[in-house]
């Protein structure tokens, strides 16, 4: 279920990128974070998954705060 969530949110981040609400550099970084989360989940590495999810949420919130006027 978490793998599907990561894959789906990856699509939504690319949509933000396409609208100009997210920079291409942010989109690439977010995509890399998604791949890392998926790999940690597949390895059943709970500590790594938690750390990656926390970092990803922080990055996503910053992007959304910056993008709010454009949305």
Whether the per-residue pLDDT at 3 is higher than 70: the answer is no
The predicted-structure confidence for 31-40, as pLDDT tens digits, reads as follows: 888 888 888 8
Total structural domains within the chain = 1
For every residue of the chain, DSSP letters joined together read -HHHHHHHHHHHHHHHHHHTSS-HHHHHHHHHHHHHHHHHHHTT-HHHHHHHHHHHHHHHHHHHHHHTTT-
The predicted-structure confidence for 8-28, as pLDDT tens digits, reads as follows: 665 566 556 655 667 778 778
Say what the pTM is.
Answer: 0.61
Residue where the block lists tokens 């938690």: 50
Residue where the block lists tokens 């933000």: 16
The predicted-structure confidence for 43-55, as pLDDT tens digits, reads as follows: 998 899 889 888 8
Q: Which domain holds residue 40?
A: 2-67
Q: What's the chain's length in residues?
A: 71
Question: d(Cα 18, Cα 12) in Å, to the nearest integer?
Answer: 10
């Amino acid at each position: 279920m978490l793998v599907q969530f990561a894959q789906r949110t990856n699509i939504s981040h690319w949509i933000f990128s396409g609208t100009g609400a997210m920079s291409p550099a942010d989109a690439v970084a977010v995509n890399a974070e998604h791949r890392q989360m998926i790999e940690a989940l597949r390895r059943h590495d709970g500590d790594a998954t938690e750390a990656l999810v926390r970092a990803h949420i922080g990055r996503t919130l910053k992007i959304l705060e910056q993008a709010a006027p454009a949305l």
